[in-house]
Structure 1
């Protein structure tokens, strides 16, 4: 589990996060949703330690991560997998080398053990015969699956996904959502996913928090969200014609 308590964050004298508190459960897909520019990405990056917070606490298990030195945070950082918005694969490395990269950085496994783990992770995301291809030689959806394989290479306890379906077609987005959900359940990972894609919310949103103007305005699950009363949340959820039709039938 990860918990944030009364987190505040300011950039250049402008406050971005206001007293945000939430719990993100292990073995669940925890989603942070909200409009662009309202603080959800800042919250995600603060939780993972890419931004320092002004006040409050970020707790991993029973350890106050935000109060540790950078050196002391290393043990927890090694238990974190990251899936970035643009996949963030190394163009000059093959698929195999990309997935092996965190193993080279943070494990003492032999070369044979590393390659076994790489192949296991690639098989887990349903990729075969792509080891020696470069990112430019595979599709965007396949790149995302390679990025997931890399994110789970170290068998993380925590998985962070920043807009994982950005730029993908709806069919491929479903594949990525399902993979994230399956891996979360299979390994009991605490998964935190930042998204504005309501299709993802309705597919895999077990715990959802809605960030509006830097504040946590609402929390619940995908069933609760369709009958929520908060105007700002409703404006966000039912912005598309599809979800307007869903609302009329709720």
Structure 2
């Protein structure tokens, strides 16, 4: 489990996060949702140490990450997998080399062991045999799947995913959502997904945190979201559905 308490983050005079507290449970897809500028990605970056909050704490199974020194944070980071919005693959590396990168960085496995792990991860995301392709030879959905394969290569306890369906068509988005959910449940990972995609929310949102103006306005499941009386959340859900319906007509 990941627990955050009273997270505040400012950039100059811009108070981006205002006293956010929440729990993210293992074996679940925990979604952070909200409109543009609500603080979603900033919160994720605070949770993994890419930003330092002014106040508050981030705890990984009782370990206060915000209070750890550099060396101690490395041990926690070895348990974290990340899938960035752009997939963040190295263009000069093959699929195999991209997935093997964290294994080279953080393990003392021999070449055979690392290759076995790469092949296992590729098989898990239905890309077996694509080892020698370069990112330029992959579709957007395939890049996302390679990104997931790299993210799980270290067998993480915690998985962070930033806008996994950005730039993907609806059919491919469903495939990516289902893959994230399957992996989360199969390996009992604490998965945190930042998204504005209502299809993802309704499809895999086991635990949803809704942000507005840097504050947590609501928390619940995808089964509860349709029955909320929270005005900010209802406005966000309605606007998202309206925009999607408009896109579907084009």
For 1:128 and 1:186, locate their aligned partners in 2 and report how far apart those are by CA, in whole Å. 19
SS at match of 1:211: strand
1:1-250 equivalences under 5 Å are 1-241=1-241
Q: Which range moves more in the overlay, 232-241 or 88-97?
A: 232-241
Q: Using the alignment, how far apart are the partners of 1:56 and 1:185 within structure 2? A: 29
CA change 1:185–1:241 in 2 (3 A) is: closer
The alpha-carbon deviation at position 113 of structure 1 amounts to 0.2
User: Residue 238 of structure 1 contacts residue 244 of structure 1 at CA under 8 Å; is this kept in 2?
Assistant: no
Structure 2 unaligned spans of 5+: 246-250
Question: Any idea what the Cα deviations from partners look like across 1:107-156, whole Å, max 9, x if unmatched?
Answer: 11010000000000000000022110100001110010000000000000
CA contact (8 A) 2:95 2:130 kept: yes
1:239 positional shift: 1.3
CA distance in 2, matches of 1:241, 1:115: 43
Q: Does structure 2 retain, via aligned residues, the 8 Å contact 1:237–1:243? A: no
Tell me, what secondary structure is at the counterpart of 2:239? Answer: coil
State the TM-score, normalizing by the size of structure 1: 0.96
Q: SS at the partner of 1:73?
A: helix
For the aligned residue pairs, the C-alpha RMSD in angstroms reads: 1.3
Kept after mapping to 2: 8 A contact 1:30/1:192:
yes
Query: C-alpha separation between the residues in 2 aligned to 1:240 and 1:141?
Result: 22
**Deviation by residue 1:79-99 (Cα, 9 ceiling, x = unmatched):** 000000000000000000000
Structure 1: segments with no counterpart, 5+ residues: 246-250
Q: Distance in 2 between matches of 1:8 and 1:69?
A: 20
